[in-house]
Chains A and B, each alone.
Chain A
């Protein structure tokens, strides 16, 4: 059983602290994605799990064993690096067998494991080639093959697809997901691409400034982000945020005024709130409907129209606030024209002045 726990893990470089006491529980066989903006500490955390970065404080457990000070090779992990890190002077076969040679496996075992990995990753015809003779996608497969042969308990991926072009990235994304299905091992995957996170993860760990913001399934994060940062990070295009002010608070019923002076009332869990407080209303671009069919209607003038075929993105303004709206690609949308877009109140997210989400309980009223 290769479950993994991080207990109050800190990372400090001299006086600078980059990871601030992270706690995380990963179950055996899970596909976990660490996601967050550049510099949030996701790669550092992965490298600490791998043993490539010293843990300043706290403990790392893999399969129930404390591996905080254990050598990388003794942790039962294997890692795929962003730059593939293939040994350039060795053939594909030598690259894949190097780790097994080091641990003193017999030739028969090495042959068997390399053949098996090559079969899984369709690398058989490439075994005698050098890395420079391979395409980006093939190199990536070799890098994954190198990890498979070692039969690790936990696979670690450090932004493995970021050097590939868009098409290949989608292809490799599917291949890695398939591999996870096939092998059933615990996998931890670092990316800054939230599409990769959403499509591959069993659970996503959203990081910011060395802290975990939220851990949850992709749909949990999408539907119930715990704060404005997560709400903005998960989903593409990102969630629209409108500044609103509280006009009344009666128990859990909060009324807020939109920038265009419309008032909406929502039933939310909240902390201390007073009339006049500033809050933020979040609406995802894909939750807008063209026309007046939903609870609240906004009049938007589209400054920029991006047509992608199936969908059209409308970039407009509402009293100085930029909004992105995802509309049906077939709709006739004209740049510069004032259009009605509406949304249902149960699709809204309300955040207090600290950016903490106020969870919706039920919608009580529509537009005033």
Chain B
């Protein structure tokens, strides 16, 4: 780590951090105040930095009109199930790659990782006909599977990296104790890999929750629509651009992710940084 010895250097560094923070948070702040502004204030020629009057109308409209609650439910269902399934599969695959020896292990891992090399738009082109054949188009299950396809390679690698640094002696001790491979996995390995498991779950959850492209393409009915395309189609379309409503609905839509992240951030950071230092 570098040291900032003089007060000028510290001041300069502080200003730089503030500038970065400004670029990061100003759009969020703008979205937030826009959600609380009335339409007249929102569309006036000289925008205001603080709402003249706090207005909850957009939030009430977002919650009572349209399908936001249904879309939130759909998003929660597909994101949670894909995140948990993805974490479970990634854990098993990562454990196998990290702690077992079998022919073709390296090639198989390379194959899984190579899926990540394709842009997800390209993957979508192949996923679409597969889901169509399986009669899973416009279903939450089909969307969940497609999310797993995208998140699994990175998640597997993350779990592999974590498991790789687990001492073999722990597993051997459990073997001598008489535990089967599966029991060793769920009684010993998984509990001590909780931070990595949470990290992978959050990663998949956030990716699914924020998805627009897959959901927009694979879901066509209003009843199965998730929150991303829901917001776009309802608030920003060719006939209409309800910015206040869009911002309020966006904040409602983002709150579960923020909440989950706030609750699990300790484990998330632990998982991301584990193994970085001895």
* Residue positions of A touching B, CB distance < 8 A: 50-52, 71-74, 77-79, 81-83, 85-89, 98-99, 102-103, 146, 150
- Chain B residues, CB < 8 A from A52: 172, 175-176
Decide: B177 and A73 in contact? CB cutoff 8 A.
yes
Q: What 4 A-B pairs come out closest when comparing CB atoms?
A: A73-B178, A99-B177, A85-B173, A85-B169
Q: Once the chains bind, are A79 and B173 in contact (CB under 8 Å)?
A: yes
Most chain A beta-carbon contacts within 10 A, residue among B172, B175, B176: B176
Assess the B175–A73 pair: CB atoms within 8 A: yes
A50 to B192, CA, bound (A): 25
| 0 or 1 for each of B184-195: is its CB under 8 Å from A? (1 = yes) | 000110011000
- The CA-CA distance from A50 to B175 in the complex, in Å, is 10
A sample of 16 cross-chain residue pairs with beta-carbon separation below 8 angstroms, ordered by A number, consists of: A52-B176, A71-B178, A72-B172, A73-B178, A78-B176, A79-B172, A81-B169, A82-B169, A85-B172, A86-B173, A87-B174, A89-B191, A98-B179, A102-B178, A146-B173, A146-B177
Could you tell me the distance in whole angstroms from the C-beta of B4 to the nearest C-beta in chain A?
Answer: 35
Interface size counted on chain B using CB atoms at 8 A: 16
| Contact with B169, one of A83, A88, A98 (Cβ below 8 angstroms) | A83
**CA distance in complex: A88, B169 (Å):** 12
Report which B residues bind A (CB closer than 8 A): 167, 169-170, 172-179, 183, 187-188, 191-192
Residues of A contacting B191 in the complex (Cβ-Cβ under 8 angstroms): 89
A72 to B180, CA, bound (A): 11
Q: A83-B167, A85-B167, A89-B191 are in contact. Are A99 and B172 (CB under 8 A)?
A: no
CB contacts (< 8 Å) of B178 on chain A: these are: 71-74, 99, 102-103
Is there an interface contact between B177 and A81, defined as CB atoms closer than 8 Å?
no
Check A81 against B173 for contact (C-beta < 8 Å): yes
CB distance from A148 to the nearest CB of B (A): 13
* B183 and A102 contact, CB distance less than 8 A: yes
Please tell me if the beta carbons of B188 and A81 are within 8 angstroms of each other in the complex: no
Chain B residues near A51 (CB-CB < 8 A): 176
Nearest chain A CB to B170 CB, angstrom units: 5
Name the distance in Å between B111's Cβ and chain A's nearest Cβ: 25
